Amino acid sequence: MNHDGYDEFGPEKVLEVYNPKVGMRGFVVIDNTALGPGKGGIRMTPTVTPKEVYHLARAMTYKCALAGLPFGGAKAGIVADDRKISAKKKDQIIRSFGEAIQIVSPKYYVAAPDMNTAEHEMEIFSKAVGSPKACTGKPKKMGGLPHELGSTGFGVYHATVVALSLLKKNVKKVCFAIEGFGNVGFFATKFLSEAGGKIVAVSDSRGVIFNKNGLDFQRLADTKKKEGTVTAYTGGKVLPAEDILGVSCDVLITAAIPDLVKAGDVDKIKCKLNFFIKKVFLLFLTLLLTLEGLFLLMLNILARERGICSNLLKKK
């Protein structure tokens, strides 16, 4: 694995697994276990790399330490496009991955949902590993917290409100654009909308739905559930997914794709407050030095603390 990131903190273990019969290829990076087993989600995308997973694992090390939790940092990735495989095939891949990493889970690695994995996948994973302690984010029937609590998105919502208060802004007079409508973005949208915020744009892997007059959260949720994409929402303009960065808004929350914003994207961003929920490294400095005017940044580590704290309850 070439990520140029080995240091005194880790990573301690890097495990790559492959099952050609199933078509499963994945990896686990256990960054640091000084405080406990490494904690971090399993993401499934066609482009996930060991380098990406390493950076996310290091972020988990910092988050767990900052929150004072008995977890270290880790992360896992499975190379697959769940939009191009059947639900049965996806289950087979998750099961194969769980069986392959029994050597480290749950003793050194405790999994969780991430991009394109949720409660259902965690149930399959934990059963494949052979231990309910192998992951958090399990269904309620297995002792997991109800998904509708949306703890990570709830934390993002509160962090946003606090940041706005520092700017002396009322959430009811602010318009938001949210990249991603998954485990984080869905609930961030929900809670901000319930607080009176105007949601003008939301994106998923298929594009952006934009309406300067605001989008109705419940209709968005129903559309996503029924059609599989927010772009099927009626009453808005559909834009390419990457155009979420250039949407005119007060607050932009990037809640899905890691490393979404590149240095060359700076001039596209029109918001005044940006929450990089998926990025914690040096790009922040580039953006802060390049953007003109007021630009307040909330780091992943702080905004997502509620999610990692709820994981302690789920594990127990």
Annotated catalytic sites, by residue?
75
Helix axes 119-129, 87-100, angle to 10 degrees: 40
Residue 26 identity (one-letter amino acid): G
Q: 84 forms bridges with which residues in the sheet? A: none
CA-CA-CA-CA dihedral for 96, 102, 105, 109, to nearest 10: -70
Give how far Cα 96 sits from Cα of 21, 24, 129, 263, Å: 10, 7, 9, 38
- Residue 64 to residue 160: CA distance in whole angstroms: 20
Helices (H) and strands (E) in the chain, counts: 9, 13
CB contact set of 281 (below 8 Å; sequence gap of 6+): 55
